[in-house]
Structure formats: structure tokens, C-alpha cells
Structure 1
Amino acid sequence: MFFLLAFLTGGIINIQLICNSSLAKKIGLINSTFINFFVAFIFLFIYKAVKLDTSIHFDISEVPLIFFSGGLLVIIITLLANFLIPKLPLLYSTIFTFLGQIITSLILDSFYGYNFQLNKLIGISFIFTGILYIISYDYLKKRFSKDEIIG
């Protein structure tokens, strides 16, 4: 069940990336990011108002300040995605985002006491080799120039 939900989340993220980058093309990068978060705020506000759940009480001063950095990171991610998606095919953007998530999760897992397993590193190297193959194929077929691929 959780694997299916994770799979659906990945699909929804790609749809969200396309919608956000299309909006960024029309109204600009900063404006599209603002609208993205404003719409999310409105929906969360309506949800909270309708639910009227008063059983959960917390003191915001007890929450460490570093925990609020997640919101800032989401804004940075949205800005970067809105900037990159029009410049790269969605396949490349998704694959590189996925690869960054995998590598970062392996590093963070090792910090939190989970074993760093060699088979996971081998799997990542297969994914990375596949990415290099796709990029070299596109380069050889003249779909992208060297400057577009490298930056």
C-alpha cells in the first residue's frame, strides 16, 4: 500500500512540476512561486477552518527554529524546479531530482544509524550509468548541444 502511495506521489510531483513551470513561463518565476504557495495556504486554511479540530494544542515556542527551515527549502525547490523544467526535458529533470534524493537519503540514513549497504550503491551506479547513456545518446543524435548538457 505504501509503495503504491509513493508511486502515485511521484506521478503527482511530475504533474505539479509541469503546471508550475508552465505558470512560471506565463507570469514569471517569483510570481508563480508566490501563487503556488498562496493557493496552498488558502486550501490549508479552508481545510483547517472546516475541520475545526481543537484537540491538538501545541506551543509554537517549543518547536526548535531549525524545524521551520523545511518551508524555506520547499520555496527554494519550487523556484529551482520552475527555473529548470522549461530548460530540460521533464525526463532529465525527474531523473536528476530522483538521483539527488537517493544519494542524499543514503547519506542522511548513514548519519541516523542505518547501515550503508553496498547493494544500494551498486543500484545507484546502474541508474547513473543509465542516465549517462541517455544523455550521450541525445548528444550524439544532436538533440542537445554540449553547452546545454553541461551548463
Structure 2
Amino acid sequence: MVKIWFVLIAFLGGILGGIQAPVNSQLGKKIGSLEASFVSFFIGTLFLLLLTTFFGKGNLMQLPHVPKWQLVGGFLGACFVTFVIMAVPKIGVALTIISLIIGQMIVSMVIDHFGLFGSAKIALNYQRLLGVVMMLVALVFIYRGTVVVK
């Protein structure tokens, strides 16, 4: 039963990401894509600084001792946000989000299958593969149904 709470938290994260995409895209139209990414991460950094200061229970002093590959997340997140900011004005929010989710699903199933980055090994099977195929079908329908109205 505990797992359902994490599914709901992830679902909420998806909702927030779906809202973040057009908000950042509009900011990008006003100040530029890279600049919007910078502002987004700067405000996020300030927010996390406050949360860490008042609620953090970890130990930032261990940072110099972590494997260097574990520090790439910020770079990947910055690329992710920048790509979304660039895509939304050109193809819309729905097509951007389904495309990035499919990309995430494909790479995450490879990571699960091989247990990469310390994750649990979860074998690729026909149900998981069928799920991605169905998402690709959804992508085709969303792509075909995308008509920009101005």
C-alpha cells in the first residue's frame, strides 16, 4: 500500500512538469530559451536552499566523497528543461510531454533491465514493451491531431 503513495507523488510531479513546460516556454519567448532555463534553475535553487536549510536531514559535507558521475544530474536537468522550453512553442505542450515521456520510458526500461546506476534489476518483458508500443501509438495520434490554431 505504501507504493501507491509514491505513485501519487510521481503523478503529482507529472502534473507539475506539465504546468512547468508552458510556463517556462512563455518565459523563454520573453527572455530567450537559455535565459529561461537559467532563471528556472536559479529560482528552483533558491527554493531548495530554503527547504534544505530548514528541513534537510542529509549531509552536504559528504559531497566531495560521492562518485563524480552522480553529479551529472544537474547538467541533465538543465538540458531537459532547455529542450522542453525550445520544443513547446514549436509543437505544443501535449506533443512535447508525450515525446519526453516516451524517451524517459525507453531509457528507464533499459536502466531497469540492466540495473544501471544502482537501480533494481527489472527484466524487460512483453507487458513493458507493449506499454511503450501503446505510448508510441498515442504519440502518432497526438502528432496527427496537432493543429496549431492562432
**Both proteins in one fold, TM over 0.5:** yes
Q: Tell me the distance in 1 between the aligned counterparts of 2:141 and 2:54.
A: 51
Structure 1 runs (4+) deviating above 6 angstroms are: none
Maintained 8 Å contact 2:94/2:142: no
Q: Write out per-residue CA displacement over residues 104-138 of structure 1, whole angstroms, 9 at most, x where no aligned residue.
A: 11111111132111111112112212322333355
Match of 2:16 among 9, 12, 28: 12
TM-score (norm 2): 0.82
**Structure 2 residue 62 is matched with structure 1 residue 59:** yes
Match of 2:118 in 1: none
- Pairing 1:22-37 to 2, within 5 Å after superposition: 22-37=26-41
Indicate whether 1:108 and 2:111 are aligned.
yes
Tell me the number of residue pairs that the alignment of Structure 1 and Structure 2 aligns.
139
Look up the match of 1:38.
42
| Aligned-residue identity in percent | 27
For residues 72-87 of structure 1, the aligned pairs below 5 Å read 72-87=75-90
Structure 1 unmatched runs, 5+ = 145-151
CA distance in 1, matches of 2:113, 2:26: 37
Q: Which digits, 9 at most, give the CA deviation of each residue in 1:88-110, with x for residues without a partner?
A: 12111111111111111111111
TM-score after normalising by structure 1: 0.81
Instruction: Give me the whole-angstrom Cα distance separating, in 2, the residues matched to 1:42 and 1:84.
Output: 26
CA distance in 1, matches of 2:34, 2:60: 34
* 1:88 corresponds to: 91
Distance in 1 (CA, whole Å) between partners of 2:107 and 2:84 is 18
Q: Provide structure 2 residue ranges, at least 5 long, that are not aligned to the other structure.
A: 116-120
Displacement of 1:16 in angstroms is 0.8
Which residue of 124, 136, 144 corresponds with 2:144? 136
